[in-house]
Amino acid sequence: MDIIPTVYCVVPVYNRLETTKSFLQHIEKQDYPAVYLIIVDDGSTDGTGEYLARTPQSNLTVLKGDGNLWWGGAMYLGVSWIMRIAKQGDYLLMINNDVRIEKNYISTLVKESVTNGAAVVGSMQRDDMSGALLGRGWHIDYWAMRFNWINCEDRNIAVNALSGRGVLFPMGAVFQVGNVNARFFPHYLCDIEYTTRVSEAGWKILVSKAADVFTSAQLSDAHIQDKSLFSKYGSFRSRKNLLHKILFFSLHGPLFLRILAAPRYPLTIIARFFEQFCG
C-alpha cells in the first residue's frame, strides 16, 4: 500500500476572523486525503485566537505570535514546527488566508510536483471577482535589479520566483536549504528570496496552469505606499523597501553583480527615472 505524503499548510494570520473562517472551509473541502494545517496567529485581537481554540479539527495546530512576527516571522515559526515532524517525501504549502481555492487545489499541486520530478509548484493568481489573471510569479532581472511580475499567460517568459500566496515545496527542498530568512526579509521579499534560494539549490520551479488561487487585486501594502516617501521606501511592510532589495541582490545573482549591489542600486533608480520620464 502506497503511503500518501502529508501536505503541511502554513498560514500566517492577523485579525480578519471572517477571512480565516472562510479559508478553513476551503481546506475542509479539499479532496487530497492528507492535509495538516498550521495557523500562525500573530497576536490577533478580533477573536481569531478564541475561535481557533474552539475549532474541533484534528488536523489543525495553532501557533502563537506576539504581533511582531509579520509574514516572514510567522512563516519561519510554522516551517520550524513542520521540520521537526515531517518526512522527506512530504510537502510544505505556503499560503495566505485571504484566498479562495477549489476543492482539488492541493491534489493538483501535488500531482504537478510528482509529474515533474518533485518540482516546486506555484499557483495562478486570479482576481476573486472577475477571475482575470493577476499574475503567476516573478522574473528577476539581476542586471536592472528588478522584480518583474508576470501577469500574462506567455510561457516563453520564465518565472524564477513564486508568490507565498500558494506555493508547494517538497520537504526535500526545505530540508536542503533550511527555513525562510525572516531576519533579513521580515515581510515582503521573504517568499521571493526563499523560492530563489530553492531554485539556486537545483530544484525545478514551475507554475501549474490548473491550480488557481482567487484573491483581491488590491495591493496589501497600498495604505503604506500612500503615506509618504519614507514609508514607501523605508517601511519594513512596504514592497518597495530599499534595504531589503539591496540585501536580496547582495545575496542572489551573478557574483560580480552581488558584490556591487549597494552602489549599483541608486544608479538603477536614476536609470528608471529617466526611462519613465524621458521615454
212/217 Cα distance (integer angstroms): 14
Query: In this predicted structure, what is the pLDDT of residue 165?
Result: 94
Task: Give me the number of domains the chain comprises.
Answer: 2
Q: Tell me, yes or no, whether 241 and 141 share the same domain.
A: no
For the entire predicted model, the pTM comes to 0.92
**Would 20 be classed as within a structural domain?**
yes
**pLDDT value, residue 217:** 84
Instruction: Give the up-direction half-sphere exposure of residue 11: CA atoms within 13 A in the CB hemisphere.
Output: 26
pLDDT, residue 268, reads: 81
Quote the pLDDT of residue 267: 79
- Count CA within 13 A, CB hemisphere, residue 22: 13
Q: Tell me whether residue 98 is in a domain.
A: yes
Point out the residues of the chain with pLDDT beneath 50: none
Cell 557574483 maps to which residue? 255
CA distance 247 to 262: 8
Statement to judge: residues 56 and 174 lie in one domain: yes
Print the domain residue range for 255.
218-279
pLDDT at 229: 56
Beta strand spans in the chain (E): 7-13, 35-41, 60-64, 91-94, 120-127, 133-135, 138-141, 146-149, 167-170, 205-215
My answer on whether 159 and 31 are in the same domain is: yes
Question: What does the CA dihedral 250, 256, 260, 264 come to, rounded to 10 degrees?
Answer: -100
Task: Find how far residue 277's CA is from the centre of its chain.
Answer: 33
Q: Do the beta carbons of residue 148 and residue 138 sit within 8 Å?
A: yes
User: Exposed, middle or buried, 53 (CB in 10 Å: 0-12/13-18/19+)?
Assistant: exposed
Half-sphere exposure (Cβ direction) of 82: Cα atoms closer than 13 Å: 37
Residue 106 sits in the same domain as residue 34: yes
- Which of 217, 238, 270 delimits the end of a domain? 217
Closest-CA residue to 123 (of 140, 103, 147, 106)? 106
In a domain, 2, yes or no: no
Whether residues 223 and 142 fall in one domain: no
**Do 176 and 200 reside in the same domain of the chain?**
yes
The answer as to whether 132 is a domain residue is yes
* Backbone dihedral angles phi then psi of residue 169, each to the nearest 5 degrees: -120, 130
Residue where a domain stops, chosen among 167, 193, 217: 217
Q: What is the pLDDT of residue 237?
A: 67
Mark whether 108 and 139 lie in a shared domain.
yes
**Which pLDDT score is estimated for 225?**
57
Q: Is residue 1, in this structure, part of any structural domain at all? A: no
Asked whether residue 222 is domain-assigned, the answer is yes
276 and 190 co-located in one domain: no
Pair 132, 226 in one domain: no
My answer on whether 171 and 227 are in the same domain is: no
Whether residue 67 sits in one domain with residue 115? yes
Q: What is the pLDDT of residues 215-252, one digit of tens each?
A: 988 766 555 555 665 566 666 666 678 889 999 999 99
In a domain, residue 258? The reply is yes
Q: How far apart are CA 79 and CA 76, in angstroms?
A: 5
Residues 267 and 152 in one domain: no
Q: Which domain-ending residue is among 169, 185, 217?
A: 217
Examine residue 55 and state whether it is found in any structural domain, yes or no. Answer: yes
Q: For residues 42 and 63, what is the distance between their CA atoms, to the nearest angstrom?
A: 8
